[in-house]
Structure 1
Amino acid sequence: MVKSVAHKAQSTNPHLKGGYTQQEPVPGTIPRGYVPLHFGASEEGLVRAGKELINPFAEDAEVDVARGKVVYANFCLVCHGAGGKGDGTVTKRGYPPPTSLLLAQAIDRSDGQMFHIITYGFKNMPPYASQVDLEDRWHAINYVRELQRSAVGNDADGENAPEGEGEL
């Protein structure tokens, strides 16, 4: 082993199958750090994600809300607005307003469904899987839940419920 020949990755190698040093990965191999999600970008996938995905950071919400606020400010604020009402800056430029995250239909969504929506997109919302890290998606959800709790807490009688009839 100490004096074994080191073959370059792209070179020929008579000792290996196919004659090349670089080999195809074993079937089922996934990249380091990649977590496969077995849900499609469909209504069925959304429903399944709602039942099967559980927020791994739900218990330690204080730290996650702080990180979630940063993620929300970087990726969500321009559409959903600072308070989550769907009044972000892009709506002032003619883009259709997203559904308010403070509506009952958004509050009733499970964390798994929200994760699926961030990952695969839904209706007018594009997918953010390539922009937002897997853990940061959960942190953003925790921050949205905090926005929802504070909105419900400030409006216990429902008089100032956000307007909008869009679907989430």
Structure 2
Amino acid sequence: MDVAADHYATLCIAPDADAAAIRLAYRKLMRLYHPDVNASADAGSKASAINEAYACLHDPVSRAAYDRRRHLPPLRPRHPSYSPSMRRTYQPSWGAPFPDAAEAEVPKSSARLRAVSLGLATILTIITFKLTSATDSTPAPRAPQPEAAARPAAQPQSSTAQPR
């Protein structure tokens, strides 16, 4: 929620207003500025601002947090030459990146380069696998087992008697 917009001024109430006064002001303003009732061009934006103010102020926990932020001094404006792409993203060695590191925009050329390099790495991996794996589908001949060579070969028994 934007702290620059004063939610109390949006709902036309005092900062010490109770929950009933906040709800009454919200309902009164929504009857005036709801886009289904008011046909003006800025009715939608006013209704959105009223909804945002009510969402912040009707909950005691979010209202207390909003009141604390309201009294903080404003942040120093950034230098005009600063751009978000100049921000350094830092990945700590212990794991997750900082929350704002995920929001940093990646230039399209960098994303395209990453996609091409990933494709080439995949192709190289497939080629390497094909070259290093066995190309002959027949298994290699087995060496005879030592115990099989020591045993005499069994003579086949026939059903017909052989003369002696």
Query: TM-score scaled by structure 1?
Result: 0.22
Q: Where is the helix percentage greater, Structure 1 or Structure 2?
A: 2
Structure with more contact order per residue of length (Cα contacts < 8 Å, sep ≥ 6): 1
Query: TM-score scaled by structure 2?
Result: 0.22
